A and B are shown apart, each in its own frame.
Chain A
Amino acid sequence: MWFQLLLNTLSLGSFYALVALGFSLIFGVTHTFNLAHGELIVLSGYMAYGLSKAWQAPFALTLPLCMAAMACLGQVLLALVRRIREPFELSSLVFTFGLALVIQNAMLFLFTADYRRIPASGKPLRLTADLIVTRNQLWLIGLSLAATALVYLMLRKTFLGMALRAVIQEREAARLAGIRVERMNRIAFAVGGALIGLAGPLFGQNAYLHPAGGMEATLIAVVITLFAGTGRIRGLLAGAWLLALLESAAALWLGSNWRELVSAGILIALLMWKPEGLLARKKPAPEL
C-alpha cells in the first residue's frame, strides 16, 4: 500500500508540476498573472480530444500538435497583454480574468457543456502483487521530468536562459544590461504556451474537460508557483511532489475532505511567513 501511495503521489505531483510550469515561466519573466491559464489548458485538452475523436490521432501525436498550437496562441496572448497599461500586474489580472470568461464561453459554444475525457493510453501494468502503475502515470511522470529538465537546462546552461533569468530577477536591470526584454517576453510566452499545450491533453486524460473546468487548473498553478517560488523550475517539481504528498497523506489519514484544507492552509501560511516560496533561498542582503 505504501509503495502504491508513493507512486500515486509522484504521479499527482507530476500532474501538478506540468499544470504549473507554463504559468510559472510566463509569470516569472513577464509578470503577467494569467488567470486564463486553466482555460488555455482546457482548450489544449479539447484540441487533443478533437484530434483523437475526429482523426483517431494517437495520444503521443496530439502532444506536439497541441504544443505548437498553444505556442502560437501564446504569441496572440502576448500581443493582447502588450496593450495593457500600468499598473501592469493588477491590470493583467483583471484582463486575463475577462479573457478566461471569453474563452469559457467560446468553448461552451464550440464544445457544448458535456464533460469529456481523453481515453486512457492502455491497460495498467502490475509491477508487483500490490503495485500497479497506469500508462497515464507513466506519461505524467516521464513528461514532467523531461519538461522540467529541458526548461531547467535552457535556463541554466544557455545564454538565452541566462537572459531570461536576468529578466526574472530584475527586469529593469536586465534592460539596462542590454537584454531585449520584449524578446524575452515573446520567448516566455512561446515556451510557456508550449508547456500549456503539453499539459492540456494530460489534463484531459487524468481529470476531465469542461468549459468551466479551467479554474481548478489555474488554482493548482498559482498554489504550486507560490509554493516553490517564482522562476524556480526544479523547485516547482519538488514543490508539486511535496504538496501532492501532503494532500494524499491528509486524504488517507484524515479523510478526503481534508485535501483542500491542507493546500489552503499551506498557501496561507506560506504567504504569511515565506512569501518568496518555500523552496526559494532568501535573497542575500545587498552589498554596499
Chain B
Amino acid sequence: MRGVPASRLAAVLVLLAVLCMGQSAAFASEIRIGEINPLTGKLANHGQEIHLGIQAAVDEANEAGGIEGRKVALLTRDDQSRPEVAVSQAEDLILRQKVAALVGGYVDSLVGPLSQLALRHEIPYVASASLQTHLTREGNNPYFFRISHLSGLVEPLCGFVTEALQARSAALLHAATPGATELSRELFKCLKKAGADLPLVEKFQPGTPDFSPFVLKLKASPPDVLLVAGFFQDHLILARQIRELGAPIKAYIGPWGVAYPSFVQEMGRAAEHLFGLSAWNPGMAVPGTEEASDAFTERFRRVYKKEPTTTVMHGYTSARVLLHAVGRVLREGRPLRGSEIARALRTIDLLLPMERVAFDTKGDPLHYRQVVVQIQDGALVPVYPPERAQGTWIYPMAPAASNP
C-alpha cells in the first residue's frame, strides 16, 4: 500500500489549522446568541412570531454596527413544541455552539426545563413568554429572567371584570396546562375576593373538538362574564359555538389568542365584541415610546411583510433586553461570561414599546402589565386600564343571533 505523501499531509494539516483558527477568530469576534422556540408543532404559530421578533432585534443591532462593534450571530433552534427537544437543542447551543446567552421560549412547559438548564450551565436565559410563578419564586436561579409574568395578566383582568364591568357572576374555563391552570386559580381567588359569584369552573384538554355541553351549561345558568384561559384554536371553536347556540353571556374574555388580527380574520363577524389581552399592538405602545413603536412597526412590515403582533413584540423585547445587557458588559470592559451578563440584566432599566423593563431579584419584570382590548368593527381597541384606553367597551356584547 502506498502511503500519503508527507507534503500533502502537511498541506491538509495546515489547511485544517487555518480553518480552525478562522473559525475561532469568528467565534471570538461575533457575539453568539442561542434562540429556542417552537417553530413546528402545535405552538408553531406563536413560536414563529417570537422568532421574528428576536430576529428583528438582532437585525436592528447588526444594522447599527453590532454591539460595541461586534456582529451578533443568532443561532436558532426548533424545539418542535416538545420539552425534551427544547432541552437537547439548548444543550447543543450551550456546549457545542458556545453561545453567550439564551433567548426565546413560549409556554412554561418549554421554558421551565430551559430555566433549570441555564442555572446548571450558568448561562443567562431571557424567556420571551413565561407566566408560572414557581419558575422564579421557588429556589434561586440568578440566570433566569423573563419579560412577562402572571400578575401582569391577573391584575388588569380582575380589575376590568370587577371594577369596570362590575360583573356579579363569572364562569371560568381553562385549558389543562400549567400556565392556564395557574391563571384560572389566581383569577378565581381575585374574583371571589371581589365578591363575584363563580357558578361554573371547568378545565378541558387542549385540542377538544366540541364545547357544546359546556355551552349548554352556560345557557342553563348564564353568568355575566365568561373567562376562557385557552388558546387561539380553542377560541375558534368555543366562541363560534357560543354564538351559534345563543348562550346569553354579556362578555367573553380570552386572555390569550383573541387579541390578534389573524383571529379577527378567521372568525369574521363572530369575533365582534370579544375581549382579549394584549401587551402591545401597532398604535398601542407604552406612553413615551410611541415613536420607537411606530418605527418598529413600519420596519417590521417592510422587512418581514407581516403585521407585528403582541407575541412578536414579546420576542423583540426579550432580545433587546439581552443585547442591551451584553452591550453593557462589553462597554465596561468585562469578559462576556454568563455571570457578567446576568449581573447586567439584574440592573437593567430600559424603556421599550411593550414595557419599561427592569427585573426584581428573582428575574421577574417589575412593570409588565397587559391591556384589555375589545374587537370593535374588526379592530383591536384598548379599553382598560383607563390610562392606556383608546376607546370605551361595549357591554353587554351584541346578541348571538346578530353574529352568526
User: Which residues of A are at the interface with B, using a C-beta cutoff of 8 A?
Assistant: 1, 4-5, 8, 12, 15, 104-105, 108, 112-117, 119-120, 122-124, 132, 134, 136, 206-208, 210-213, 216, 220, 247-249, 251-252, 255-257, 259-260
Query: B209 contacts A251, CB within 8 Å?
Result: no
Q: How far is the CB of B165 from chain A (nearest CB, A)?
A: 24
A12 to B81 alpha-carbon distance, docked (Å): 28
Known: A115-B262, A123-B404, A134-B244. A5 touches B236 (CB 8 A): no
Known: A12-B212, A104-B40. A255 touches B236 (CB 8 A): no
Query: A116 contacts B266, CB within 8 Å?
Result: yes
User: B interface, by DSSP: helix, strand, loop or mixed?
Assistant: helix
A286 to B296 alpha-carbon distance, docked (Å): 76
Query: A212 contacts B203, CB within 8 Å?
Result: no
B246 contacts partner chain A, Cβ-Cβ < 8 Å: yes
Query: B211 contacts A256, CB within 8 Å?
Result: yes
Query: B44 contacts A113, CB within 8 Å?
Result: yes
Query: B204 contacts A256, CB within 8 Å?
Result: yes
User: Which residues of B are at the interface with A, using a C-beta cutoff of 8 A?
Assistant: 39-42, 44-45, 47-48, 81, 173, 176, 202-205, 207-214, 216-217, 219-220, 232-233, 236-237, 240, 244-246, 262, 266-268, 270, 401, 404
Query: B404 contacts A8, CB within 8 Å?
Result: no
Which residues of chain B are near A114, meaning CB under 8 Å? Answer: 45, 262
From B215, which residue of chain A is reached at the shortest CB distance? A8
A256 to B203 alpha-carbon distance, docked (Å): 6
Query: B209 contacts A15, CB within 8 Å?
Result: yes
A208 to B263 alpha-carbon distance, docked (Å): 12
From A255, which residue of chain B is reached at the shortest CB distance? B202
Query: A120 contacts B240, CB within 8 Å?
Result: yes
Q: How far is the CB of B91 from chain A (nearest CB, A)?
A: 23
Which residues of chain A are near B45, meaning CB under 8 Å? Answer: 112-115, 210
Q: How far is the CB of A124 from chain B (nearest CB, A)?
A: 5
Which residues of chain A are near B266, meaning CB under 8 Å? Answer: 115-117, 208
Query: A248 contacts B210, CB within 8 Å?
Result: yes
From B243, which residue of chain A is reached at the shortest CB distance? A124
Of the candidates A8, A208, A211, the one whose C-beta lies within 8 Å of that of B237 is A208
Known: A12-B210, A114-B262, A255-B203. A212 touches B40 (CB 8 A): yes
Query: A207 contacts B237, CB within 8 Å?
Result: yes
A259 to B173 alpha-carbon distance, docked (Å): 14
Query: B214 contacts A251, CB within 8 Å?
Result: yes
Which residues of chain A are near B219, meaning CB under 8 Å? Answer: 1
Known: A1-B220, A113-B44, A119-B268. A208 touches B244 (CB 8 A): no
Known: A132-B245, A259-B205. A113 touches B212 (CB 8 A): no
Query: B205 contacts A210, CB within 8 Å?
Result: no
Which residues of chain B are near A248, meaning CB under 8 Å? Answer: 210, 212-213
A248 to B45 alpha-carbon distance, docked (Å): 30
Known: A115-B233, A120-B404. A212 touches B81 (CB 8 A): yes
Which residues of chain A are near B42, meaning CB under 8 Å? Answer: 210, 212
Which residues of chain A are near B246, meaning CB under 8 Å? Answer: 124, 132
A260 to B39 alpha-carbon distance, docked (Å): 27
Known: A115-B232, A119-B268. A5 touches B216 (CB 8 A): yes
From A253, which residue of chain B is reached at the shortest CB distance? B213
Query: B233 contacts A256, CB within 8 Å?
Result: no
Query: A208 contacts B233, CB within 8 Å?
Result: yes
A83 to B246 alpha-carbon distance, docked (Å): 52
A201 to B191 alpha-carbon distance, docked (Å): 41
Known: A207-B237, A211-B44, A255-B203. A122 touches B213 (CB 8 A): no
A234 to B85 alpha-carbon distance, docked (Å): 43
Which residues of chain A are near B211, meaning CB under 8 Å? Answer: 256
Query: A8 contacts B244, CB within 8 Å?
Result: no
Given A124-B244, A248-B210, A255-B203, list of 17 further CB < 8 A pairs?
Answer: A4-B245, A12-B212, A108-B40, A113-B45, A113-B48, A114-B262, A115-B232, A123-B401, A123-B404, A207-B237, A220-B209, A249-B213, A256-B214, A257-B176, A257-B204, A259-B204, A259-B208
Which residues of chain A are near B267, meaning CB under 8 Å? Answer: 117
From A130, which residue of chain B is reached at the shortest CB distance? B219
A136 to B203 alpha-carbon distance, docked (Å): 26
Known: A108-B40, A256-B202, A256-B204. A122 touches B176 (CB 8 A): no
Known: A113-B45, A210-B233, A257-B204. A5 touches B213 (CB 8 A): yes
Query: B236 contacts A251, CB within 8 Å?
Result: no
Query: B210 contacts A8, CB within 8 Å?
Result: yes
Query: B236 contacts A117, CB within 8 Å?
Result: yes
Which residues of chain B are near A220, meaning CB under 8 Å? Answer: 209
Which residues of chain B are near A12, meaning CB under 8 Å? Answer: 209-210, 212
Q: How far is the CB of B97 from chain A (nearest CB, A)?
A: 24
A16 to B270 alpha-carbon distance, docked (Å): 25
From A256, which residue of chain B is reached at the shortest CB distance? B204
A4 to B386 alpha-carbon distance, docked (Å): 41
Which residues of chain A are near B207, meaning CB under 8 Å? Answer: 216
Q: How far is the CB of B220 from chain A (nearest CB, A)?
A: 6
Which residues of chain A are near B233, meaning CB under 8 Å? Answer: 115, 208, 210, 213
